[in-house]
Amino acid sequence: MTGPDSLKMSDRVETKAAAIAECPFRIGNTPFRRLRIPLNGQVHEICLKEERQNAFGSIKDRVAWYLLFQARKDDCNLRHVADASSGNYGYALACIGRELGLGVTIVSSPSITAFNAEGIRKTGARLIIADSAPGESSNAARMRVAGETAERTGARFLNQYASPLNPEAHRVWTAPEVFSEGPFHACFMTSSSGGTGRGFSDYLAETPVDTRLFFVEPSGSQAFLDANSNASSPSLPGYGSGRRSSFAGLAHPPDMIRVDEAAVVAAFSLFRDLEIAPVGLSSVGVVLGALEWLSTQTEARRVACICADGAERYLEEFDSRYRPGVSQAVFEACHRTLSPLLGALVPDV
């Protein structure tokens, strides 16, 4: 192919590669923590991709840098950016913006964790908490206020929830990095805002990697698939989504595993007490989904779990916010049931 279109395609490929190669922060090449567990007479390997090891503590570091790299390429005089975030992306964007000397405005919701809210403010970024209008979802309110703020202040609205650069960051960066450590029989993740799931789905659709993709979500989450008919909306801050993702059109449709929120909170408590791995709340849910699938397998399997962030983002509010957010009777029952199962997880040395 020759002509203008081929030049545009070439430029885009070079931009993708440059965004990764020219990243000045310790983002990417995060390690795997390898665990073993015996189930039904088989010993399985569970590989935790620890995105908490990124410079600013989560998988959202990748998206924040990838969007900012393109924004700065488009506008060499860029001075101020604004975007909506439930927490981790906003924290990463604020940290990167501080290092680059950019003004940053983050619009979030009352559900943002204290860790992320305090971290954003400490960078000098402006944090706006958007209240929802009647009938408006918290996500829609964040996006609306972020767009209005950008228009009013002249900031560039990065619009992570709708930007194709969000899933692209995972398609060209996170997913190839994960599967270079394969082979894996299955890969488990939470869909988050949709960009991670869409990026991995697109990568698997265009490569010969033979790995099943699973999204592990609370019962009421509907980012990609309808929630269970009798399930209430997600109740834990920052876990699951009550709206359909802008990236829901998947080329490589995943399987869905639903987990109970009380079970995830109980498992998070056990991960902490048993010192299994300091991963975040949704990441613990991802591991529970992997264990559910592995319990049905009749041969030894090797699986990857994408762990989006670390436990430190939830520990401060665990006893005051997360544990009271679920039925205590169900929490105690899940704790008793999961204790021997999670206690069987051991490092793979």
What's the pTM value of the predicted model, to 2 decimals?
0.92
Interior angle at CA 326, CA 322 and CA 328, nearest 5: 110
Interval 155-164 mean pLDDT: 96
What confidence score (pLDDT) does residue 137 get?
84
Q: Which amino acid is at 281?
A: L
Task: Quote the CA–CA distance of 343 and 66 in Å, as a whole number.
Answer: 38
What confidence score (pLDDT) does residue 234 get?
57
What are residue 259's phi and psi, to 5 degrees? -125, 150
Interval 183-207 mean pLDDT: 91
Q: What is the DSSP string of 131-150?
A: PPPTT--HHHHHHHHHHHHH
Cβ-contact 1, 7 below 8 angstroms: no
Task: Quote the CA–CA distance of 216 and 315 in Å, as a whole number.
Answer: 22
3-state secondary structure of 344: coil
Q: Is the pLDDT of residue 2 over 50?
A: no
- Tens digit of each residue's pLDDT (9 = 90 or more) over 228-268: 545 556 567 777 665 666 667 766 667 899 999 999 999 99
Residue for token pair 């949704």: 282
- DSSP 8-state assignment for residue 234: P
Q: What is the DSSP string of 287-301?
A: HHHHHHHHTT-SS--
Instruction: Tell me the pLDDT band of 226, cut-offs 50, 70 and 90.
Output: low
Tell me how far apart the 2 most distant CA atoms of the chain are, in Å. Answer: 66
Instruction: Tell me the pLDDT band of 283, cut-offs 50, 70 and 90.
Output: very high
Instruction: Tell me the pLDDT band of 191, cut-offs 50, 70 and 90.
Output: confident
- Tens digit of each residue's pLDDT (9 = 90 or more) over 98-113: 999 999 999 999 999 9
